[in-house]
Amino acid sequence: MIVLAIVFTVFLNRTVIGRRTRAIGGNEEAAKVLGINTNNVKLVVYSLCGFQAAVAGITTTARLGVAQSTSGMGYELDAIAAVIIGGASLTGDIGTILGAVLGAAIMGVLKNGLILLNVFAYWQQTVLGLAVLLAIAADQFRKRY
């Protein structure tokens, strides 16, 4: 996973398609005005997203020892929370892969700590939601000042 994070960091920061992807994420209409073919860039980005989903599915299957279609249910909040805690903005164009990896590490430590403290699953989700709200509030505060 670290190798994939490095590869995609280089992809986003050092290639033309990566810079175009960031431009579309910031403002799609402005990217169109600049002459970027947004449909082609989106096709590449969605293909890479599918590749990443396949890697995640293979990794989950290897870890669990069984392939079930419902094995990833409930991880949506964790993924969004990790990216937001890692410093990405919900409005777009701000965020790094390193930040997302660090956010995922923070989420892992937080979840493990809550499990070790024998916190009920309902309250674990509540704490994770509060962490996301705090990260969003920090992002909004940073934008204002």
Please check whether residue 103 is in contact with residue 83, taking contact to mean a CB–CB distance below 8 angstroms: yes
The tens digit of pLDDT for each residue in 88-106 reads 877 766 788 899 999 999 9
- The pTM for the full model equals 0.77
Angle 92-73-4 (CA atoms, 0-180°, nearest 5)?
55
Please check whether residue 81 is in contact with residue 107, taking contact to mean a CB–CB distance below 8 angstroms: yes
The tens digit of pLDDT for each residue in 36-69 reads 999 999 999 999 999 988 988 898 899 888 888 8
**pLDDT over threshold 80, residue 131:** yes
Residue 93 is predicted with a pLDDT of: 64
